[in-house]
Structure 1
Amino acid sequence: MEEACINEALTDDELRWILSKLESDKDKDIFGLVCKRWLHLQSTERRKLSARAGPHMLLKMASRFSRLHQLDLSQSLSRSFYPGVTDSDLAVIAHGFKSLRVLNLHNCKGITDNGMASIGSGLPSLQSLDVSYCRKLTDKGLSAVAEGCHDLRSLYLSGCRFVTDEILQGLAKNCRSLEKLCLNGCINITDSGLVDIVNGCRRISFLDINKCNNVGDIGVSSVAKTCSSSLKTLKLLDCYKVGDASILSLAKFCKNLETLVIGGCRDISDESVKSFAVACKNSLKILRMDWCLNISDSSLSCIFTQCRNLEALDIGCCEVVTDAAFQNLVNSEIESRLKILKVSNCPRITVSGIGMLLDKFKSLEYLDVRACPNITKMGCDEAGLVFPEYCKVNFSGSLCEPDVLV
């Protein structure tokens, strides 16, 4: 009986089905080594690619990976001396990768508005763009993206210091499906821009305006009211104009908020934090409020007793907080899910306070007690404190910090 060749017996669709069942990238690459036909199928079915390549290589990649959805050309900080992708590269990408949905150009410092114009005109199906720390970009280039990529869902602009409220107006007009927006360090963004963006983009679930120090209560309150049903993450690190009015608005409208960063917002007081804790007691998972100098024991006690699903908390440099913040834990039936707790630079918290929380925080994985003069490893040992089995205690700064609170 004559044996059938597998290439004669199986159609392209059947081979694609086999390829789809391979879970690891390594196995998929081995699949492509069988013959030219299998290599072609493996290449055209590939959806993700990370690379570092110039225009000629990008042309070859576009020809081979014709149905690519995700392309990562980001630069690491260790290669900060290298400009990475250039405008001419972006022209090749816009022409060759027509199916592209996700493009990561993080830290590619060589690109300019001309490159963004190519992306805007050539990739109408783009849904996610990361141009964080591409410091030459301005409203002009990014507006071209907004005008050409109407299906944009995520846009990351951290460190793009030249952008202003103008780009937010463009996004509000053209990208109504926007869900994630990162403006970390965009110092020219104001309340007016935030009002504009949420009036047009009402599905925003993730908003990072860390270090946008021209943003205040008007802008944040507008975000809270307009995106009340969708907002899950809000980051306001060092937005020193943000005060109680913002937090009270979040408490009133955003009952499903999961992550809130208000570190460095020094005008926020106990009144608004307690209202927020009660309002978001079932949803809140991550709360960062280091350097909130008006926060006291009453806020912390309320957070611990109300927010049963809280997983990470940073109260570093809240200098008036004392052991009394943990007192209500002693006789309560609270079963906390807290995994990360940072109390660094809290001079009034002692070993006794740490002992109180250890009885309830059985899931604790990381505890930061740096620069707490009344808490030392020797003192904890002498008090007989027993930390959870997998808990790392940072006494001196020698441990790597979790990035969940960044």
Structure 2
Amino acid sequence: MSTPIVGGGEAGPPGVCINDVLTDDELRSVLARLESEKDREIFGLVCKRWLALQSAERRRLAARAGPHMLAMLAARFGRVVELDLSQSVSRSFYPGVTDADLAVVARKFKRLKVFNLSHCKGITDKGMLEIGDGLSTLQSLDVSFCRKLTDRGLEAVARGCHDMRTLHLASCRAVSDVLLLGLSRNCPNLEELVLEGCANITDQGITDLVGGCQKIKLLDVSKCSNVGDVGISNVARSCSSSLRTLKLLDCCKVGDQSVLSLASFCMGLETLVVSGCRDISDESLKSLAAACGNSLKTLGMNWCLNVSDLSLSSILAQCRYLEALDIGCCEEVTDAAFQGLASVEDVLSLKFLKISNCPNITVTGLGIILDKCRSLEYLDVRSCPHISKTACDEAMLRFPDCCKVNYVGRLSEPDMKL
């Protein structure tokens, strides 16, 4: 199929085919300037030549295909570096992604760096052995909720993919400390590790991990009930210069020692979630506020029952860049935690605030918050007996125009996992 350029008027030049004028490099330059995926797809509909160029330049691919179709896709999209075969959380298709699919990917997609297999419940260690043996360039792997996987298959990935940077293993319940030792020995560039719900992980595994992986920026060990102060303190020491995000949701063995270690070593910490860690108290959180006041942006500490006005007032006064805060169910917190803000000239950066189930916070404290948080986008005041729509109206509280207020649970929360 030719794509002519037709001269205007009878005296104009004869029609010229654009494919005779533009080189492949020039067409690639045009394609590179198309920002939306839709426009890039339309580019490939012009003619076979443009389609071939578009296919060759594609870097990302999401597919629902069996082995035969995957092989055909690999032949057409030979330079793909990101492949998404993940399945829906709520719906699945039969038979879904299988080990046979992974064997094709390992043989045919040799440039692959990012591979998403989350919720592919049918894959096993056999498929992971293929990935470890065939994809040495892999840097990011998400196998969250692939519950048939064990240390055996994932260790093979660690041995074969030495440049692994990101590994998501949420709810891979069979994973244990054995894998963490394998990562320590083979993946020194690891930056992001999600182990949420991997209950077999212990302090020993975490200690082994950071013995060799000292570039970790994000670590999520939420709901790892066997991880405590020993492991987290070792993370703070070993990854002091790199650690930016640490999630410890419902880690019941984590206490003040962990937070004090973070305050001592991790001055660049940006996100900390200690929700459900009921042994954490004001002492350690005041130290954290003093040490990380210039870096902390997100802090989740709901159900930290020992937290009171002492630490919260320090956090609000010193963490000037804090954008998201959850103190839900911190029953010791009162309006007094916010009173110090009245004399502060600076406006706070808070955009996301949850104070649900805080029985001692009233519209008085809320009024101080609103006066200092003019960028607030979401406020959760559910189950606060002294705060209601009527009470706020009677107190003539003024909310920012963009702020959504959740009084009774009818609003969906923004996508900020605290």
Q: CA deviation at 1:81?
A: 6.7
Which one-letter code corresponds to 1:176 in the other structure? Answer: P
1:358 has 2:370 as partner: yes
Structure 1: distance between partners of 2:401 and 2:16: 59
Instruction: Answer with 396-405 or 202-211: which moved more.
Output: 396-405
1:316 has 2:328 as partner: yes
1:46 has 2:75 as partner: no
The structure with more radius of gyration: 2
Q: CA deviation at 1:84?
A: 2.4
Q: CA deviation at 1:27?
A: 1.8
User: Aligned residue for 2:7?
Assistant: none
1:374 has 2:349 as partner: no
Structure 1: distance between partners of 2:347 and 2:94: 50
- Helix, strand or coil at the partner of 1:354: helix
Match of 2:22 among 1, 10, 19: 10
User: Aligned residue for 1:99?
Assistant: 111
Match of 1:141 among 131, 153, 163: 153
User: Aligned residue for 1:238?
Assistant: 250
Structure 2: distance between partners of 1:128 and 1:324: 46
Gaps (5+ residues) in structure 2? 1-12
Structure 1: distance between partners of 2:25 and 2:342: 64
Instruction: Answer with 349-358 or 171-180: which moved more.
Output: 349-358
User: Aligned residue for 1:268?
Assistant: 280
Which one-letter code corresponds to 2:401 in the other structure? Answer: E
Q: CA deviation at 1:82?
A: 4.9
Which one-letter code corresponds to 2:78 in the other structure? Answer: S
State how many pairs are aligned.
406
Structure 2: distance between partners of 1:303 and 1:309: 10
1:343 has 2:355 as partner: yes
Map Cα deviations across residues 106-140 of structure 1 (whole Å, 9 max, x no partner).
10000000010111111110110000000000000
Gaps (5+ residues) in structure 1? none
Which one-letter code corresponds to 1:375 in the other structure? Answer: I
Q: CA deviation at 1:8?
A: 2.9
Which one-letter code corresponds to 1:177 in the other structure? Answer: N
Which one-letter code corresponds to 2:277 in the other structure? Answer: C
Structure 2: distance between partners of 1:302 and 1:82: 54
Map Cα deviations across residues 156-179 of structure 1 (whole Å, 9 max, x no partner).
000000000011111111111110
- Helix, strand or coil at the partner of 2:34: coil
Q: CA deviation at 1:83?
A: 5.4
Superposition RMSD on alpha carbons, in Å?
1.2
TM-score, normalization by structure 2: 0.95
1:205 has 2:228 as partner: no
Structure 2: distance between partners of 1:104 and 1:330: 48
Structure 1: distance between partners of 2:328 and 2:94: 36
Q: 1:140 to 1:339 in 2, by over 3 A?
A: same
Q: Equivalent pairs: percent with the same residue?
A: 67
- Helix, strand or coil at the partner of 2:26: helix
